[in-house]
Structure 1
Amino acid sequence: MNRNVFITLLIVFNIAIDQISKVIVRNNMVQGARGQIDVIEDYFQLIWVENKGAFLGMGSDMNPTLRLIFLLILPTAVLIYVIYYIVKTKELDRLSVIAFCCIIGGGIANVFDRIVFGEVTDFFFIKITDSIKTGIFNVADLSVTTGMIMLLFSGVLNKKEGKSA
């Protein structure tokens, strides 16, 4: 498969699964703790919230101009640059390309929400213990996080391969 087609399909796939999951949540759940669904007791729950900020609601209390700059314009510029980078940098290994596509797809999906809805739909919550738990997040956040972990893993693998060569 052509490399650029692969990149495009992977980004579109990440955006699609995020947006489909958000449509399902918006159409089938009640917002807030009242509509909470316990998937695995209180360890894995679905709780629909709308987030005006970034990660864990950070920036939700910023004035509208700063929110526009830091949560819409800046992320969009970074996403455009990363797309340009992965298309132009042909020597990236496959794992890094996939990781960047996950990051880009998740980023675009959340920026899309901010443009269309003015906020981002979040709904996953994981609690391992009372002190070890996540904030409420979505599929796009999961894509970005997975992509970052894959990039770290790819960096470690490439560093090991460089030492052995």
Structure 2
Amino acid sequence: MNRSLFIVLLIAFNIAIDQISKVIVRTTMIKGGKGQINVIQDYFQLIWVENKGAFLGMGSDMNPTLRLIFLLVLPTLVLAYVIYYILKTKELDRLSLIAFCCIAGGGIANVFDRIVFGEVTDFFFIDLGGVFKTGIFNVADMSVTIGMVMLLFSGVFNSKKKEKIA
């Protein structure tokens, strides 16, 4: 498959999965936790909230101008650079390429929500009985997180590979 087409399709796939999941949540759930759904008892729940801030609501109490700059303008510039970087950097290994596409797709999906709705729809919640507990997040957040983990793994894997060669 053509490399550029692969990049566009993978980014579009990440955006589509996120947006489809958010449409389902917005059309079938009750906002604000009143209609929470226990998927796996209290360990994994669906709770629909709208987040004006960034990760875990950070920045939701900023004044509107700062929120526009830090949650819309800067992320858009960073995402544009990431897309430019992955399209132009032909020597990226496949894992890094996929990782960057996941990061870009998830980022674009959340920026899209901010532009269209003024806030981001979140709905996943995990609580493993005090051992591990998340804030409420969405598919785009998972894409970005998985992409970051893949990028870290790729960096470690590639540095070990270079050590063996040297």
TM-score, length basis structure 2: 0.98
Q: Which runs of 4+ in 1 moved over 3 A?
A: none
**CA-based RMSD:** 0.6
Give the whole-Å Cα distance in 2 for the aligned partners of 1:131 and 1:159: 32
Give the whole-Å Cα distance in 2 for the aligned partners of 1:100 and 1:132: 27
Question: What percent identity do the matched residue pairs reach?
Answer: 79
Q: How many pairs does the alignment contain?
A: 165
> 1:21 is matched with which residue?
21
Cα deviation, residue 132, structure 1: 2.1
> 2:102 is matched with which residue?
102
Give the whole-Å Cα distance in 1 for the aligned partners of 2:129 and 2:159: 35
Give the whole-Å Cα distance in 1 for the aligned partners of 2:4 and 2:54: 29
Cα deviation, residue 34, structure 1: 1.0
Gaps of 5+ in 1: none
> 2:139 is matched with which residue?
139
- Give the residue type in structure 2 aligned to 1:143: S
Cα deviation, residue 145, structure 1: 0.1
Cα distance, 1:162–1:13 mapped onto 2, change above 3 Å: same
> 2:159 is matched with which residue?
159
- Give the residue type in structure 1 aligned to 2:49: V
Question: Aligned ranges for residues 113-124 of structure 1 at < 5 Å?
Answer: 113-124=113-124
> 2:69 is matched with which residue?
69
Question: Aligned ranges for residues 76-91 of structure 1 at < 5 Å?
Answer: 76-91=76-91
Give the whole-Å Cα distance in 2 for the aligned partners of 1:101 and 1:151: 11
- Give the residue type in structure 2 aligned to 1:68: L
Secondary structure of residue in 1 paired with 2:31: coil
- Give the residue type in structure 1 aligned to 2:157: L
- Give the residue type in structure 2 aligned to 1:82: V
Gaps of 5+ in 2: none
> 2:2 is matched with which residue?
2
Cα deviation, residue 131, structure 1: 5.2
Cα deviation, residue 130, structure 1: 2.5
> 1:45 is matched with which residue?
45
Give the whole-Å Cα distance in 1 for the aligned partners of 2:9 and 2:63: 36
- Give the residue type in structure 1 aligned to 2:70: F
Cα deviation, residue 68, structure 1: 0.3
